[in-house]
Structure 1
Amino acid sequence: MLSTILAETEHEAAPMIAEPWVFALIAAVIFVVLAIVTWSYRDVANRHSDKVSSHDAGHGGHH
């Protein structure tokens, strides 16, 4: 029984499909892409302030 347990402890886990640095690189690239997408939406609410002000004037300015 002891030999069976020792044989099982030497058993290798499932092989990785890539090196660990590849996973870190993929995560970093995804993070940068999401940061660029988020940055591209900056100041969106203020781009059309002329439309908002004319809408508020016509509807009493309440929301």
Structure 2
Amino acid sequence: MSVHELVLAVETAESSLPFPAIVFAGIAAVTFLALAVVVWSFRDVANRHSQKTGGQAGHGADHH
């Protein structure tokens, strides 16, 4: 078996992607944006619930 035949055998044995590479990039971008929306939706949770705990209680503040 010559080197040329070996290279051809390896090239034909490669598996192809089910989608073009740009589709995988698009899926990754959409996933990243969806997770960013989730993080953005929780951006003010600590401040919304601060009245229930009395402000900074539990964060080193002394309330004696």
User: Taking structure 2 as the reference length, what is the TM-score of the superposition?
Assistant: 0.72
User: Which of 8, 32, 39 pairs up with 2:6?
Assistant: 8
Match of 1:61 in 2: 63
Matched with 1:50 is 51
Amino acid at match of 2:23: V
Question: Is 1:28–2:29 an aligned residue pair?
Answer: yes
Deviating above 4 A after TM superposition, structure 1's stretches of 4 or more consecutive aligned residues are none
Count of aligned positions? 56
Identity %: 43
Query: How many angstroms apart in 1 are the aligned matches of 2:33 and 2:46?
Result: 23
Q: Distance in 2 between matches of 1:26 and 1:61?
A: 50
Which TM-score applies when normalising by structure 1?
A: 0.73
CA displacement at 1:34 relative to structure 2: 0.5
Q: 1:14-50, CA deviations, whole angstroms, 9 ceiling, x for partnerless residues?
A: 0110001100100000000000000000011010121
What secondary structure does 2:32 align onto? helix
Structure 1: unaligned runs, 5 residues or longer: none
